[in-house]
Chain A
Amino acid sequence: MADHAPAHPSSPFMAALRNAFITALIALGLAAPMMGLVTVQGPNGLRLEPHWERVAIAVGLVFLGRLALNLTIWRPDAGRTRTQIPPRVEATLARLGRWFAPVAVALAVALPFLPGVERYTVDLAILVLTYVMLGWGLNIVVGLAGLLDLGYVAFYAVGAYSYALLAQHFGLSFWVCLPLAGILAAFWGVLLGFPVLRLRGDYLAIVTLAFGEIIRIVLLNWYWFTGGPNGIGGIPRPSFFGLDFTPGPDGFAATFGLKFSPLHRIIFLYYLILALALITNFVTIRLRRLPIGRAWEALREDEIACRSLGVNTVNTKLTAFALGAMFAGFAGSFFATRQGFISPESFVFMESAMILAIVVLGGMGSQIGVAIAAVAMIGGFELFREFKDYRMIVFGAVMVGIMVWRPRGLVSSRTPSVFLKEKKAIAGSLVQEGHG
C-alpha cells in the first residue's frame, strides 16, 4: 500500500492522504458490522443494537494514525527501512548491560525495604519474578536448544499439583516438596519429550501444545485425585525453616522479636522466588559455558552438523527439555504455596503463550532480555488492570507490534560462551532460530 506509488505522482501529502483514506475505508469494512452492530439479548431473542459512534471513532483513529505515520516514519522518501536500533546504540546498550544486571539484582534485593513500597508492589514483584523464572526456564528449551515448546505450562502444573498433593496426602513440607516437584516435572519432561523430540520444529510445537492441553484436561476431570475444576485448596504455606508466619508465640515474628505483620510472609515469599529465579539464572549461565550448553546452541544452529560431530542429539534435547521442565516444576510448587489454592484454570494455554512471548520478545537466549520482557509484560499488564478487557486487546496488539518492529526480540545479539582474546557480541541476524 505505502509502496505502491500512484500512477500520476501528485504531492506527497496528497498521496499520504489518499493512502490514509483507503486504510480508513478498510477499517470501516472491518469495524462496521463487528463494532457497529452489537448483538444483545432482547425479550424475543437476539437483536442488534447499532453503535455507529464506535465505528466512527475507530475509523477516525485509523485514518489519523495512518496519515500521521505516512507523513512521518513511512514517508516514501524515508525509504522502507525497518526501524532498527543502530549498531552503535546497541553497543552502548551492551556496555550498559554489563552494569544493568548487577544493578537490577541489587534493586531486586532491596525492593521490599525501599521507601514507598507497599504490599501491592511486593505482590506484583512476586508475580513478575515467577514469570522471570518461567521465562528463564523456557529459555533453556527455546532460546538455547531451539526446541519450540508451546506446552510449557504443563510442567508448571505438574510442579504445582505435585506440591499440593504431596503436602495434602503425606503432610510433606514445602522444602521437601520443592525438589520433588522439580524432579517430577523433569521426569514428565523426559517422558513426554522422548517420543516427540525427533519431530521437526512446528510439529514439536503442536505436540507440546497437545500435551499441555491433555494434562490440563486430565487435571480438570480427574476429580478424586486433583479435585477437578474445584482445584485443591488449603495448601500449606511455606515456613521459614520450620517457623510459621503466624502471630502465635512459635511464629516467625515472635521468635525474632518482631511485631507480627502479615507482610513478613509476603516478603519471605518474595525472597524465595527471587532466590529460585537467580538459581535458575545461575545454572543456565553456568550450563551455557559447559559442553552441554554449547551442544544445545549447536543443536539450534544445525542439528545435522551436530550429529556428524558425535553429539547425541536425542540426549541433548532431552536434557534441555527436562531441565526446562524442572525449573517450571520449581516455579509451580512456589506458585502453589503462594496461592494456597490451585485449579486447572491457572494452567491454560494462554500461560504457555505468555511465557513463550516473554522469551521471544526478550530475545531468545538472552537472560537479561527475558527478564526485561517479563517485567515489561507482566508488570505493564498488571498496571492496566482497571482497563480490563481493553488491556488484553492492547496486549495482543503490542505483541504483534514488537514482533514487527524487532522480530528477534529486544536483545538480539548473542554473547559467545567462551573466547580466546576478546568477547564480541554476535549479531542476531547470524544466529539461527532452531530447526526442531
Chain B
Amino acid sequence: MTVRPLDAPELPPEVLLRVEHLTMRFGGLVAVDDVSFDVRRDEITALIGPNGAGKTTVFNCITGFYKPTVGRLTLRRAEDESWLLERLRDHEISRAAGVARTFQNIRLFGGMTLLENLLVAQHGPLMRASGFTLLGVLGFASYGRAERAAIDKATAWLERIGLIDRADDAAADLPYGDQRRLEIARAMCTDPVLLCLDEPAAGLNPRESAELNTLLRSIRNEGVAVLLIEHDMSVVMEISDHVVVLDYGKKISDGSPAAVREDPKVIAAYLGVEDEEVAKVEQEIERIAEESGA
C-alpha cells in the first residue's frame, strides 16, 4: 500500500511543519483548542505549559496517535514533497513523513538488546531490502549488505550516545538517563526530518541534562528539526530557538525564549493566577512599563 504525498498548500521554505487550528476533543473535554504554530527547519522548538495544558495531546496528534477533531498539519519534507499528517496512519507518519518521537514514560523494547532496538527503528528500509522477508529467508546477499549497513548506522549512534559498550545488553538493564538517550538514538535511526521529544530531560541529573542539550543541538545542526515538550525551564531557555506556550489547551504565547519569558500571560499561567486576574496582571505590568518608560 503506497502512500503518496498529497497536494498540500505551499509552506514558506523555512517552515517544516505548520499546525493550523488544531483542536482535539475527548467527549466533552476540549484538550486542545484551536492551536496554530510553525516548526521551522534548523530550529529547536519547545512546547511548554503547565500540567494538563494539552502539550502531549498536540504531540500525539502530530505523531499520529490521535486523529485531531479539527485542524490541519502540513509537513513539507522536501521542496516538492508535502504531507498532511492528519490523513496519515500512525506508522506512515514515521515512514513517509519522517516524524519520529520519544515518549514521556520511556518506551524501549526492554527485553531486546540496544542494537536490536536500533535495528527495529530501521524496519522500513530493512523490510524492503529483505524483499519483504521472501528474499531474506532464502538468504540473498542483498539483504546481508543492507543489514550490515543498518548495524553500522546503529553502531554509529551507539558510539555517539556513549553506549557502544552495552550494545549487546538488554535495554531494560540500562540506567534511566541512558534509556532516554537510547530512545532518542532509536528515533533518529528512522532518519526523521522532525524529531519530537516528550520531556526528554525529565528525571535526568544536571550532568546528563547538559549532555542531552549538546546532543539535541548537534542533531539540530545536522538539519533535523526538534520539537520538544519540557517542564524544565532551564533546558527550554538554554537550547530552544522558539517557544510555544499552551495553557488549558489554548496557545497563549509564541516567540523567542526571551520574548516568551517576559510575556505576562505566561508568567500568570505558570504562577497559577486565575483567568480573570490575567487581564489585571497584564494591565499592571503595562502600567509599570509605561511608568518606567515615561
Whether A and B touch (Cβ < 8 Å) is answered with: yes
- A301 partner, pick from B63, B110, B126, B187, beta carbons under 8 A: B110
Structural contact, A307 and B91, CB atoms closer than 8 A: yes
A5 within 8 Å of B by Cβ? no
A305-316 interface bits toward B, Cβ cutoff 8 Å, 1 = contact, 0 = none = 111111111000
Nearest CB in chain B to that of A428: its residue: B111
Question: What is the distance, in angstroms, from B121's C-beta to the closest C-beta of chain A?
Answer: 5
What separation, in Å, do the CA atoms of A319 and B147 have in the docked complex?
A: 21
What separation, in Å, do the CA atoms of A271 and B187 have in the docked complex?
A: 47
Question: What is the distance, in angstroms, from B111's C-beta to the closest C-beta of chain A?
Answer: 3
User: Chain B contacts of A421 at CB under 8 A?
Assistant: 167-168
Known contacts A291-B136, A295-B120: A418-B107 contact under CB 8 Å: no
What separation, in Å, do the CA atoms of A419 and B110 have in the docked complex?
A: 16
User: Chain B contacts of A171 at CB under 8 A?
Assistant: none
Structural contact, B94 and A305, CB atoms closer than 8 A: no
Q: Which of B29-37, B43-51, B95-103, B217-225 contacts A (4 or more CB under 8 A)?
A: B95-103
B179-220 interface bits toward A, Cβ cutoff 8 Å, 1 = contact, 0 = none = 000000011001000000000000000000000000000000
Interface-centre pick from A298, A302, A308, A313 (highest chain B CB count, 10 A): A308
What separation, in Å, do the CA atoms of A424 and B169 have in the docked complex?
A: 7
What separation, in Å, do the CA atoms of A292 and B113 have in the docked complex?
A: 16
What separation, in Å, do the CA atoms of A6 and B205 have in the docked complex?
A: 47
Structural contact, A305 and B107, CB atoms closer than 8 A: yes
Question: What is the distance, in angstroms, from B73's C-beta to the closest C-beta of chain A?
Answer: 16
Known contacts A294-B123, A305-B107: A420-B151 contact under CB 8 Å: yes
Structural contact, A430 and B94, CB atoms closer than 8 A: no
B130 within 8 Å of A by Cβ? yes
What separation, in Å, do the CA atoms of A95 and B155 have in the docked complex?
A: 28
- B112 partner, pick from A283, A311, A416, beta carbons under 8 A: A416
Nearest CB in chain B to that of A426: its residue: B170
Question: What is the distance, in angstroms, from A94's C-beta to the closest C-beta of chain B?
Answer: 15
- A283 partner, pick from B92, B107, B115, B137, beta carbons under 8 A: B137
User: Chain B contacts of A286 at CB under 8 A?
Assistant: 136-137
What separation, in Å, do the CA atoms of A311 and B107 have in the docked complex?
A: 15
Question: What is the distance, in angstroms, from B180's C-beta to the closest C-beta of chain A?
Answer: 14
Structural contact, B109 and A287, CB atoms closer than 8 A: no
Query: Among residues 272 to 291 in chain A, which have CB atoms less than 8 Å away from a CB atom of chain B?
Result: 283, 286-287, 290-291
- A419 partner, pick from B90, B113, B122, B133, beta carbons under 8 A: B113
Interface-centre pick from A286, A298, A432 (highest chain B CB count, 10 A): A298
B10 within 8 Å of A by Cβ? no
Question: What are some 12 contacts across the A-B interface (CB < 8 A)?
Answer: A290-B133, A294-B116, A302-B107, A307-B91, A309-B91, A310-B124, A418-B119, A419-B168, A426-B111, A430-B110, A430-B111, A432-B110
The 10 A-B residue pairs with the shortest CB-CB distance, nearest first, are A431-B111, A310-B94, A310-B95, A301-B109, A291-B126, A305-B107, A420-B167, A290-B136, A430-B172, A298-B120
Seed contacts A306-B120, A420-B167; 10 additional CB < 8 Å A-B pairs: A291-B136, A294-B120, A294-B123, A297-B116, A301-B109, A302-B110, A308-B100, A313-B91, A319-B133, A421-B168
- Residues of chain A having any CB pair with chain B under 8 Å: 283, 286-287, 290-292, 294-295, 297-298, 301-302, 304-313, 319, 414, 416-424, 426-427, 430-432
